[in-house]
Amino acid sequence: MPQYSPKRIIRNISKNLLQRYFESRGLLGDFEWDEYEDGDPTEIIEALDSLKPSEQESVDTDLMTINELASEGGSKLIYEDAALWKRPWAAQLDGMANDCERALLALIEDRKLVERVLGYQEIDRFAESRWRRWNVGKRLQVEDDENHRGRLAKALRAILKDQGRGRRCHVETFERRDPDRFCCFAYPENHPKTDLGYDDQDRFIRHARRTAGEVIFVYRREEGILEMVAAGDRQHKDRVSEAFCKEMLGLKALPDPRSKPPYDLSALKSGHFAFKTDPGDHIAGVEIRLLRFDLPGKGYRRIVLSGRPTPDMPDLLRSLVDEAIDKSKLPFSELHVSQARLSFKFRRQNGGRGKTVTFEITYPDSCNLKDFGDDAVAKRYLIKWGIARV
């Protein structure tokens, strides 16, 4: 996300769209739009200075939202959600000149959609290592109503009470598609903070505020997996996740995270493993670029083999395994594959360049693939090949 600059954002939005935005907000009614030249934000910035402080703050918030969504990923999420919910203005997105304009169009037409897209981005921004996962069961009935959201908020407040926070808690939920996921955000109140600043009468004062923490739950129905990200130690995260399981999924307790690990890499040990793919997915080939073996016995011992196959040596990793491991002394059946790096090569389509998706899977529950684009295709094959459990 680029550094926030109101001038940069306004410069990248056409006069017609800017006028449409300010008219929808009932602002800058006296502004001479006929005299405004596209790409010169100076006059608009000066006009904004004449607004009330509360109005300036509101516009600034909208511009910061546009800044956050003005990227290829943000535009993609706007396209997907507008198409999913059959928004009549979705067809206008193709006529927008850039990501800033697409974000502003969405903001004008549907602020609820923008809130969902911001939630999607919030989920996607966390590194794979930040998520904790449990196998909770496939296709569970999610109790997504005001009563159960209130019960979850109450349970989280009780957990945080001993820490002197969580007096209030707001819970929001939404559905996400491709793949199907139920997403839940909880915002428990944090400890109070004090900032130096100015009020609406331009007085210099100390502002007392209570910020909110963030807890994210993602339940993948078809895989039966619950994912959670939050601050705190492992014990705290377990308690928070158990509250979600009880109040929203109807479970009696949090399942053991060690049961049925989501990933099983043992099939990659076989030299005869074939990465079979469908022609319609335009996959030119799949390569193994790294294998990490945990060794049996005492101590923390591992063998890591890494290499990049070439046309002359397409099975380079298989050759390295045979060279590095003496199977007479170290039975291959006793080696545990704890990590693998795979690379999917996609064929060129519509004149564009062919793409390569390279990613790592780490036993028991880590994979740094995303849920969209070519990453989603690779994820689907991990399930098909039995590497990812469902």
CA–CA dist 218, 72 (Å, integer): 24
Q: What is residue 179's predicted lDDT score, i.e. its pLDDT?
A: 82
CA–CA dist 361, 378 (Å, integer): 12
The answer to whether the CB of 228 falls within 8 A of the CB of 101 is no
What DSSP line would sit under 247-308, residue for residue? HHS--SSPPPTTSS-SB--GGGG-TT------GGG-EEEEEEEEEEEEPSSSS--EEEEE--
> Chain centroid to CA 159: how far?
26
Q: Which tens digit of pLDDT belongs to each residue from 213-231?
A: 999 999 998 888 899 999 9
Phi, psi angle pair for 211, to nearest 5°: -80, 170
- 358: which residues sit within 8 A by CB, 6+ positions away? 289, 341, 342, 343, 344
Q: Which tens digit of pLDDT belongs to each residue from 180-193?
A: 899 999 999 998 88
Q: What is residue 317's predicted lDDT score, i.e. its pLDDT?
A: 82
Structure tokens at 186: 């909880």
Q: What is residue 370's predicted lDDT score, i.e. its pLDDT?
A: 87
Candidates 206, 371, 361; CA nearest to 292 is 361
Q: What is residue 271's predicted lDDT score, i.e. its pLDDT?
A: 67
Q: Which residues on adjacent β-strands are paired with residue 64?
A: none
Q: What is residue 154's predicted lDDT score, i.e. its pLDDT?
A: 97
CA–CA dist 273, 279 (Å, integer): 19
Q: What is residue 290's predicted lDDT score, i.e. its pLDDT?
A: 93
Which of the residues in the chain have pLDDT under 50? none
> Chain centroid to CA 343: how far?
21
Q: What is residue 162's predicted lDDT score, i.e. its pLDDT?
A: 85
Q: What is residue 1's predicted lDDT score, i.e. its pLDDT?
A: 65
> Chain centroid to CA 185: how far?
13
Q: What is residue 129's predicted lDDT score, i.e. its pLDDT?
A: 77
pTM, two decimals, is 0.70
Q: What is residue 77's predicted lDDT score, i.e. its pLDDT?
A: 93
User: In the block, which residue shows the tokens 């569970």?
Assistant: 140
CA–CA dist 364, 78 (Å, integer): 33
Q: What is residue 259's predicted lDDT score, i.e. its pLDDT?
A: 64
